[in-house]
Amino acid sequence: MLGVLIDPDKCNMRKLSDVLNLCRLHKVDFILVGGSLLMQNRFEEVIIALKKQKEIPIIIFPGNGFQVSSKADAILFTSLLSGRNPEYLIGQQMQAAPHIREANIESIGTAYLLIESGSPTSVSYISNTQAIPANKSDIAVATAMAAEMMGMQMIYLEAGSGAKNPVNDDMIRQVKKHIKLPLICGGGINDIETAFSKYNAGADIIVIGNGAEKDVNLIGEIAQVRKRFTPVRQKK
């Protein structure tokens, strides 16, 4: 699957319809909306604009407990299991839970694992947590296994917005080998070669953000890569 992440602070509202049309044209599986730090009050405005179409699910990818909206289809209910800051393990989640219930949108329990990417990221700074070292696949595997045993629905390996290096292929392979949950990979996927290597290593879903912000044509290019890994369905 392929997801496109839209940061309300970074998106150009005048060009948003163009991005949306490309997502529809290339059958993007879902659109994520959210950011580590929102300086402008456009969160729900962006969701409403994206919901003008009905084909693509709009899923909140929250940076904190305030990023909740009844206008979305679902929310990734993330817990930053790679860190040791209780605020992002359960604190923000506890604050958000009543609002998510009131919004009556689907909540998808997601284990969020921040992976070292070669440079500091907004996520690591704001969450005050240390990323899993890029060469420590065993730590990522053990964390993902624990998340599965805790009842999480998805594992998200994240290098972070603007990552210098994406999650390495060996870590993806090792994590996928030891879990049965869908595996998402994001951060630093800025070209078709990187997208191919992540799918090939075992990622079920890749998410592109900064790359698509810089060049919207990347959406179509990676959608073509996705086709190479999409199983051919047999007609009954």
Q: What's the pLDDT tens digit per position in 155-165?
A: 999 998 778 89
Q: How many helices (H) and strands (E) does the chain have?
A: 10, 8
Phi and psi at 179, nearest 5°, equal -130, 165
Cross-strand partners of 73: none
Say yes or no to pLDDT of 233 above 60. no
Helix (H) or strand (E) holding 84: none
Q: Are 185 and 202 in contact (CB under 8 A)?
A: no
Give me the mean pLDDT over the 123-129 stretch. 90
CATH fold, domain 2-227, is TIM Barrel (3.20.20)
CB atoms within 10 A of CB 12: 9
- Among residues 190, 187, 186, which one has the least CA distance to residue 211? 190
Q: What is the pLDDT of residues 167-220, one digit of tens each?
A: 999 999 999 999 999 999 999 999 999 999 999 999 999 999 988 888 899 999
Q: Are 19 and 212 in contact (CB under 8 A)?
A: yes
What are the sequence ranges of the domains in the chain? 2-227
Rg, Å, the chain Cα set: 17
Environment class of residue 231 by beta-carbon count within 10 Å: exposed (0-12), middle (13-18) or buried (19+)?
exposed
Residue 184 CA to residue 166 CA, distance in Å, equals 12
